[in-house]
Structure 1
């Protein structure tokens, strides 16, 4: 397992993160604890959760594991999130000081810790003034309740606005962003990635396998069945599945992934994860396994290194199709030159 700095902070984290949205829902507590054991034994350090995962149960499951493993707990870099409803009242949601102060204290209690290493705003809140949110986060850093903070699902302008608002007041800066990012979903490269690179913010991509598509478990024109999320519960997004199934780009990407996987004797999941780890600004990729075997396979990406030709083939096959100004071919080419320092 390799390690990178958590954005512009001095904290080192593993390049693969254990995502725990499945804890308490798709994975019961014994299975969740086995995944934590497996992840830490492989050298993993960054564990990511949120107060809304499984109705707070994900945090509780992690808290009980931390208590039962005090030595291993010392190496865990713990991340959680706040923003979404924690009650039925009008102030039980959002990024206001009132809601976040209660949400943070509740997360600390469920996790059984005095300090959370990375506290993330789960989504933008258009109703709360951004300086109210940032001042609360700076106060939480000063109080020792959190080490640093980040965002999730923010747009490029929202990231930049927050960065310069914090800088102007002399408050602690954000260090990370959690976006959806994978070989099938690359639109953040137009605005979000450049904004993060400009601010020194590290990316923690979620859904790196595009809901299982990049693992190769879906077949063209065959409705999902069996032990898959959509096979077990088609109501979770069959309309989106049909749209992706009907898109030739999906199958071109999967063909490219398969070719690289065959060349390495690796799984398709490992190839998709390795490509993501090679992208600008990526600090650590979040693994969202439901079983220990899925996690073990994903962890194999830590040892997979793709050469320039393989990365190029995957990048070209998955290129986003946006032709309108300013995101057309010329605009994307200029963005790529900017990222690499070219002209």
Structure 2
């Protein structure tokens, strides 16, 4: 039987330990009996990380310590390593995880020296400082693991600073491995390099600046991943690989480069066709950049580039079959995470209930949650704290929305962002939305607050929800005029019935490079007939606030007549109405993964969530069912608005 505590009483130091892979590794080692000394720049983040660990892992308090450490500073590193040894004795292992990514995508000829130095200072000088003091304080037979990247093997264009730093770490690792063997010939200190691909952490999700002020670009899992396994790795997967190199199972391994990258492959252009188009300089540079990124990240057969309405649209035929299960980004809606006593519609209240709900989503490979300050509907301000209590932000990127009941003033937006960060127990909100338009206050001060939050790193990006198309354009115009970061996502009501936005809204979004996240993608169960016999506290229960809103939207004679005709067609194909509606939105709608579009799905139970994910992943519908759903919109689509 395998030993459940392979690291029992082993002393291991981990840098970059307050979040992402470093935090996942610290947890992995502690569960398996290690004594872990965690280092990171922010003492506040370390305290939060350890508070979460102590809550989740029993009897860990005496086996975890932390040191606020800037790895660029040799005195900090010396204090961390020597402080650990003073408490627990010599080291058994060390994992140097701390890293910095470049903040822009520039060719070397345009790369600022300061940016290069910033990346080298953390990645190279930081790793050098760490190895130096670890080698002085590690036992014979100890193991040091440094973190490289797939950039060691396949360096990408426009990533010169990061690629240079990771290749320098490779050289340091090889030198240290030789020295570890020379120091203790009979029981060498082992030094190996772990080279991950894209990891689903804050670092990979940071916006990268494009050349000449052309905006920012944020990589997503849908962006031309060149790996055979078409997704980001989870921090826990990389942590397990590092732990293997730290442990006794790898004791015959040193000076190795281990690639845990999902099968990363070198780029291979076969054909690229550029039509005769007229581009201004900034768009041309952005186009060349996009080609460069794609050229270093996947294998393409044909790239067609068109200019439509002054914007570049990229169409490509991928030679490789995508293994992604959902055709669109899939996001878990947490509107019914909340206080059950105050809100009968809430389904997930206790920590165990919330964990059971979100664990289903995580196990299916999805990592984005959506909530709001005012969720759940009848118990405002109860959803975010419950997600924070279970440390959902350690495994998921979390989107949330402003408290519209207070109004969108500059002061309220700034205050609400801080509140959401505190309640969710995270350092950065993934997408922060203006939840509904505030037509009683000018929007510009709110945009100023959002821009400040973006520059301060409190929000990764921001979005708009429930606005009219003209209001979206107004927001974008103000942002361009003032030099503010522009919204990147619109979250809106969209399904087989609610499609008016296709004509009015989507042209504005596409012109401005905004993704669309659809809520209520199955029309709240309308196509399953839920409205005919409403369940207590269900979506169509008129006694409930949310049910009353749903009824006002959908329960109209023309709508119900059209829906009944479609239900007859579903029955012929033995497809449930809810499944048909959800699959239509996922596979047959205007939504498209190439724009970053997504579906927000929820469920009243973990099992229903499993079923909903199964439905999305099931694939396209029969043509007759698609035609029946399209007919619903043609007959009654003007009855329901896409905005508030």
Kindly report which structure 2 residues correspond to 1:99-118, keeping only aligned pairs within 5 A, or say none: 99-118=412-431
1:42 matches 2:364: yes
Q: Which runs of 5+ in 1 are unaligned?
A: 86-92, 325-343
Residue 383 of structure 2 corresponds to 58
Check 1:136–1:258 CA distance in 2 against 1; reply closer, same or farther (3 A cut): farther
1:268 matches 2:582: no
Are the equivalent residues in 1 in contact too, given 2:496–2:630 (CA < 8 A)?
A: no
Secondary structure of 1:50's aligned partner: coil
Are the equivalent residues in 1 in contact too, given 2:432–2:459 (CA < 8 A)?
A: yes
1:10 matches 2:218: yes
Residue 80 of structure 1 corresponds to 400
By percentage of residues, which structure has more strand?
A: 2
Secondary structure of 1:128's aligned partner: coil
Residue 295 of structure 1 corresponds to 609
1:280 matches 2:488: no
* Structure whose alpha-carbon radius of gyration is higher: 2
Residue 474 of structure 2 corresponds to 161
Residue 353 of structure 2 corresponds to 31
Residue 150 of structure 1 corresponds to 463
Are the equivalent residues in 1 in contact too, given 2:435–2:464 (CA < 8 A)?
A: yes
Which of 609, 624, 633 aligns to 1:319? It is 633
1:178 matches 2:498: no
Residue 228 of structure 1 corresponds to 538
Residue 46 of structure 2 corresponds to none
User: How far is the alpha carbon of 1:204 from its aligned partner?
Assistant: 1.0
Q: Which of 1 and 2 has higher RCO (CA within 8 Å, sep 6+)?
A: 1
User: How far is the alpha carbon of 1:10 from its aligned partner?
Assistant: 1.9
Superposition TM-score, scaled by structure 1 size:
0.77
Are the equivalent residues in 2 in contact too, given 1:249–1:318 (CA < 8 A)?
A: yes
Q: Distance in 2 between matches of 1:319 and 1:215?
A: 16
Are the equivalent residues in 2 in contact too, given 1:184–1:210 (CA < 8 A)?
A: yes
User: How far is the alpha carbon of 1:190 from its aligned partner?
Assistant: 2.5
Q: Distance in 1 between matches of 2:451 and 2:503?
A: 29
User: How far is the alpha carbon of 1:314 from its aligned partner?
Assistant: 4.3
Check 1:119–1:258 CA distance in 2 against 1; reply closer, same or farther (3 A cut): farther
String of CA shifts for 1:282-316, please: whole Å, max 9, x gaps.
Answer: 51111121111211111113322216835741453
Q: Which runs of 5+ in 2 are unaligned?
A: 1-199, 208-215, 222-327, 341-345, 639-644
- Which has the higher mean CA deviation after the structures are superposed, 300-309 or 14-23? 300-309
Are the equivalent residues in 1 in contact too, given 2:411–2:449 (CA < 8 A)?
A: no
Q: Distance in 1 between matches of 2:628 and 2:462?
A: 32
User: How far is the alpha carbon of 1:199 from its aligned partner?
Assistant: 1.6
String of CA shifts for 1:152-197, please: whole Å, max 9, x gaps.
Answer: 1011101111122212322211111111111122222221122212
Are the equivalent residues in 2 in contact too, given 1:186–1:320 (CA < 8 A)?
A: no
String of CA shifts for 1:204-232, please: whole Å, max 9, x gaps.
Answer: 111122222134444xxx44246734459
Q: Distance in 1 between matches of 2:632 and 2:622?
A: 15
Are the equivalent residues in 1 in contact too, given 2:523–2:581 (CA < 8 A)?
A: no
Secondary structure of 1:211's aligned partner: helix
Q: Distance in 1 between matches of 2:357 and 2:409?
A: 34
